[in-house]
Amino acid sequence: MKPITEYTDYRKVIQDFFDAKKRTSAFTWRDFAKSAGFSSAIFLKYVCEGKKNLSRSGAKAVALAMGLTGFDNAYFQVMVAYGTSKTDEAKKNAFEEMCAMAKEHKVRILGTNEFEYFKSWKNSVLRELAPAMPGAKPFEMAKACKPSISTNDVTDTLAFLQKIGLLEKDYDNTYHQTDKAISINTTDALPVAARNLQRQMGMFALDAISLPLSERDMSGITMGITRQGYDKIVKALDDFRQQIADIVANDGDTEQVYRLNLQFFPLTERVRGGN
């Protein structure tokens, strides 16, 4: 098996443990279940398939059955809490606890940097703003942000962006993007952070309604559609996002940092049948 901190999905830990045992012995799901104290011979198989969840007590039993001790045992149990959380807030808290545990033991969870990047709007804004203000001090960048943030926030954010390789600084304190566009490694923790970022940006969009028309563009359509129509609109939005990305990639030096929100969501329950 891989080191425990290379996992964020407890089901994969259980499956990898079972596969490793199976390769070297006649180990069965029944044997595994019995060693963990479960009466159902295929309960853990169902857990790995996503058909069942582990309880807190079940997590302790499975950890012991897999021979996990100390840090590995504690980390696995928090991973189970992360995997079974019902809300984004609970999921975020559990993942942050996993990160804190890993940091304390001087190991890194794959996807931590990506999770941290998407947690706050400040990261994406300062990644665009800093290179557009050559030689600027953190307090000057702080004043340029909408909403305004503290100088310490700017300093910490710039340090983080340098640490994960999204910004670099030259001899005259001018920042440069290492790449024009970002390709983020996927991890199952990212959707939680990404939804949090979308909430933050959605609130800013509400405040932006008060800006002059010359500085913002907002419009909307309320529509009644079929599922087929929905799929066509989603495809059109994907194409549009790519067009915007192409424009940005070929644009000149940054004069101002903007955010584009594309929001398409239901306002009613489904009132007719459909495939």
| Residue type (1 letter), 116 | E
Q: What are phi and psi of 168, to 5 degrees?
A: -135, 150
Whole-number Å distance between alpha carbons of 160 and 168: 11
SS3 content of the chain, % helix, strand, coil (to 5): 60, 0, 40
Q: What is the spatial distance between Cα 57 and Cα 59, in angstroms, rounded to a whole number?
A: 5
pLDDT at 182: 61
- The answer to whether position 186 is within a domain reads no
Q: Is the pLDDT of residue 100 over 70?
A: yes
Total Cβ atoms within 10 A of residue 111: 20
User: How many domains are there within the chain?
Assistant: 1
pLDDT: which is higher, 105 or 184 = 105
The answer to whether position 150 is within a domain reads no
- CA torsion angle 45 47 52 54 (round to 10): 130
pTM confidence score? 0.60
| Residue 93 belongs to some domain of the structure | yes
Please give the single-letter amino acid code of residue 76: F
CA distance 1 to 6: 10
Q: Report CA-CA distances (Å) from 40 to 29, 44, 58, 173, 261.
A: 9, 8, 13, 63, 48
Structural domain boundaries enclosing 67:
4-108
Q: How many Cβ atoms are within 10 Å of 194's Cβ, its own excluded?
A: 16
At 237, is the pLDDT very low, low, confident or very high (cuts 50, 70, 90)? Answer: very high
Of the candidates 210, 60, 185, the residue with the CA atom closest to the CA atom of residue 116: 185
What type of residue is 150? S
> Binning pLDDT at 50, 70 and 90, where does residue 2 land?
confident
Tens of pLDDT, residues 142-175: 999 988 899 999 999 999 999 888 899 988 888 9
The answer to whether residue 26 sits within a structural domain is yes
Cα–Cα distance for residue pair 176/130, rounded to 1 Å: 8
Is residue 78, in this structure, part of any structural domain at all?
Answer: yes
pLDDT in tens, 21-74: 999 899 999 999 999 999 999 999 999 999 999 999 999 999 999 999 999 999
Return the pLDDT at 110. 60
Among 132, 221, 117, smallest CA distance to 162 is for 117
CATH number of the domain that residue 33 is part of: 1.10.260
Is position 145 within any domain? no
H helix count then E strand count, the chain: 12, 2
Residue-level pLDDT at 7: 86
CB 229 within 8 A of CB 266: no
Q: Is residue 47 one of the residues assigned to a domain?
A: yes
Residues 204, 259: Cα–Cα separation, whole Å: 9
Torsion of CA 106, 107, 109, 113, to 10 degrees: 50
- For residue range 177-235, what is the model confidence (pLDDT) as tens digits? 887 666 444 556 667 777 878 888 888 888 888 889 899 988 889 989 999 999 999 99
pLDDT at residue 262, as a whole number: 87
SS3 252: coil
What mean pLDDT do residues 2-22 have? 91
